[in-house]
Homo-oligomer: A and B are copies of this chain.
Amino acid sequence: MTVAALSESELLERIFPRLNRGPRVNAAVLLGPGDDAAIVAAPDGRTVISIDTQVEDQDFRLEWNNGYRTSGYDVGWKAAAQNLSDINAMGARATSLVVSLTMPPATAVSWVEDFADGLTAGLRGLGAPDCAVAGGDLGRGRELAVSVAILGSLDGGDPVLRSGARPGDTLALAGTVGRAAAGLALLESDIPVHTLSGEQRALIDTQCRPRPPLAAGPLARRAGATAMMDISDGLVRDGGRMAAASGGVLNLDPDALKALAVPLLPAAELLGIEPLDWVLGGGEDHGLLATFPAGLQLPPGFTAIGSVEAPAPMDGTGVKIAGRAADAVGWDHFAD
């Protein structure tokens, strides 16, 4: 059965029971779906907000070159993950989200149910039990698209911005980089998915169901992180944004980069690709890049990967590896 066979209210009746399941009731949602708008608690008088959209054939393919089929569950999980990551990157705790789902009329109802299950599983599985679906919107389009706006609370704390890195700070990473890019390369390769090893499949899982380190954001904020952002467009490109916002240079430690490349070897060797390209240019793992005052013990989950330096005269801000300029190799949505 396709969504064209159901009215909007009939479709909503199939979606609602799949949302907000689990042992905890979300106290932040004061008024949930069903009225013109929802109402969410903002306990410290502020709301953190971000919006992110996934579009079919841009952010995912329903069927990949290697035969993997993206499920509604994958898309729902990823919508949860990438939005939760933006709240995490401010050092905040997600309290609720609203979701807009655009679907071709031929979309299977089971795909939509699967999407709702994946969204719920992502919120629960990634460690955001306080985050409920407060409302949403269904519509038609020629391609599948999912927009999520997510709200969070800083619980009285100060946000950790991109602009706070200072010369001498330690640069640290929580979560992973490059795994989702390696998974994407496998998905786009000619090597059938069913022939892949468990380690290789796990890289595809990171692309389709990323696992951003959600506990790390608020932990880093409380530990005194000076700057923080999530890596969605690659370490060099996003690091360059932090460097520019902070007016500094991020100097990456090549030994740390090599260590980050090790988990990518099962795909790199298969595809004949240099794994450091994925480490430096790959986004979508939604790892957390943060800076801490030198000498501070890093909070659990963070590993040092470099340091912040003052920009040399004439040199500008940016990212270096062992003191030499790194090229920006991250993803750009528009440039050809």
Q: Using CB atoms and an 8 Å cutoff, list the residues of chain A in contact with chain B.
A: 3-8, 11, 30-31, 34-53, 55-59, 85-87, 89-90, 92, 96, 98-100, 102, 105, 134-143, 145, 147, 149-152, 154, 159, 161-163, 228-230, 245, 332-336
Contact = CB atoms under 8 A, between A and B. Distances in A.
A150 B134 CA distance: 13
28 contacts: A3-B334, A4-B335, A5-B336, A6-B334, A8-B333, A11-B334, A30-B46, A35-B159, A35-B162, A37-B48, A37-B90, A38-B49, A39-B48, A39-B49, A40-B47, A41-B46, A42-B42, A42-B47, A49-B134, A51-B147, A52-B100, A53-B100, A55-B140, A55-B145, A59-B139, A100-B147, A141-B145, A147-B149
- Pairs A-B, 10 closest by C-beta atoms: A149-B149, A42-B42, A147-B147, A37-B50, A36-B89, A51-B98, A55-B141, A53-B100, A47-B47, A36-B86
Q: Say how many copies of this protein the assembly contains.
A: 2
B143 A142 contact: yes
Contacts of A98: 49-51, 149
Contacts of A99: 51
A143 to B, nearest CB: 5
Contacts of A42: 42, 45-47
A48 B42 CA distance: 10
A39 B159 contact: yes
A333 B139 contact: yes
A34 B245 contact: yes
Given A30-B46, A50-B98, A141-B143, A89 B37 contact: yes
A159 B36 CA distance: 10
Contacts of A4: 334-336
A94 to B, nearest CB: 10
A246 to B, nearest CB: 12
B135 A51 contact: yes
A5 to B, nearest CB: 8
